Amino acid sequence: MLAREFVLSLRSGSQISKGDDESILMISRDVKARTIRVSVVAFIVLDGILAIWPGLLPFNRIYPLIFGLPFVMAWLTLLIMLVGLALFVLALFDRRAGGPSS
């Protein structure tokens, strides 16, 4: 709602106070943080699908060996490391947005 009022005030040529500018900045941070949260949740769901039966079928083989691990074990290790990275990014953005991690 505030973003719409902001655009309307720009069209009408009225001046914007400092408080309005700060509230718009807070809204954009909130939208960005929400987008990051939704993206991380979607990634974790996709990761879960790729780690169980239907998603694991293309990767369920032994060769090639990767760092001495069978391919399927290396694939699952990679998925676990990617989830850790996604959660780290989520914590970073939550801290910047002043969310639950701060």
Summary mean pLDDT of the chain: 79
* Ranges of each domain in the chain: 2-97
Cα–Cα distance for residue pair 33/28, rounded to 1 Å? 9
Residue 4: pLDDT band by 50, 70, 90 thresholds? low
pLDDT average, residue stretch 21-50: 79
pLDDT single digits (tens) 39-86 = 999 999 999 999 998 889 999 999 999 999 999 999 999 999 999 999
Our CA angle for 30, 31, 36, nearest 5°, is 95
Q: What percentage of the chain carries pLDDT values higher than 90?
A: 46
